[in-house]
Amino acid sequence: MISIIVPVFNSEKSIVKLCHQITEIMINLQQAYEIILVDDGSQDCSYLWMKKLSCNHSNIISIQLARNYGQQNALLCGLRNSKGDYVVTIDDDLQYTPKDISKLFEKMNEGYDVVYGVPKEKVNSTLRNFGSNFKEVMFRCFLKKPKDITITSFRILRKSVVEKITLDKNSFVYLSAMTFRCTQNVANVSVKHKPRLHGKSNYSYFKLIHLMLYTIIYYSNCPLLKPLKKHKPQYIIKEIIK
């Protein structure tokens, strides 16, 4: 089985179309699958659409978090509720196309533990592209990420890696940092990346700096940073519809 996890935030205009596209490609792959939608405190009608999808499709699971915890926390919640031998994570904005799940799966079958889908040409703002490049440098310095591997939010993970990741109790969650703690057997594959059709990215310099600092504090091996770690729930689930 393949589990597809989608962190959802204010995506009422795209979530139904995304689920239909995922369903279509999974039928073509002839693979058993489940779609896990995790609503991370949306302020629009996203969760209402999610509930309708779950009521009409037995393999779509909808999870509503108690508030907005952040995309990474929503992903971790999805991982803990997944049953698949392989787990795919994909954004809710339709910039990554579900058709490329087949590319991730094909590359995974070469024996890798994790495969990231990397756009040939990424359609993002200058700030977001700068942030991605800065993260690459930081991950190589502090987390021993292989130099030739690029990190994205579109990936497939083997169940054995997911099981290790879900044991992590850090209150600050960063999935790729957890991943490189578990395995270095990682690959990239080229995928498409489309312009954003609905909504806008909430990326900012403040969030970029916050991500960098907290990743170093929580995932580097420096003992001097240990007192800076906070202890709070990674997320609280309000409702699950299966």
Nearest to 149 by CA among 107, 115, 98, 179: 115
Which sequence spans correspond to the domains of the chain? 2-241
**Separation of alpha carbons 2 and 158, rounded Å:** 10
- In the block, tokens 């403040």 appear at 206
With tokens 């073509």, the residue in question is 28
pLDDT digits (tens, 9 = 90+) for 195-235: 876 656 666 677 777 777 888 888 877 777 777 788 899 99
Handedness of CA 77, 82, 88, 90 (dihedral sign): negative
Q: What whole-number distance in Å separates Cα of residue 76 and Cα of residue 147?
A: 25
Per-position pLDDT tens, the chain of length 242: 999 999 999 999 999 999 999 999 999 999 999 999 999 999 999 999 999 999 999 999 999 999 999 999 999 999 999 999 999 999 999 999 999 999 999 999 999 999 999 998 765 556 566 666 666 777 777 677 888 899 999 999 999 999 999 999 988 999 999 999 899 999 999 999 988 766 566 666 777 777 778 888 888 777 777 777 888 999 999 999 98
Place of tokens 């979530």: 15
Strand order across the 237-241 sheet? 186-191, 114-119, 155-158, 86-89, 2-8, 33-39, 60-65, 237-241
In CATH, what is the architecture of 2-241? Alpha-Beta Complex (3.90)
Residues 10-40 have pLDDT tens digits of 999 999 999 999 999 999 999 999 999 999 9
- Rounded to two decimals, the pTM is 0.90
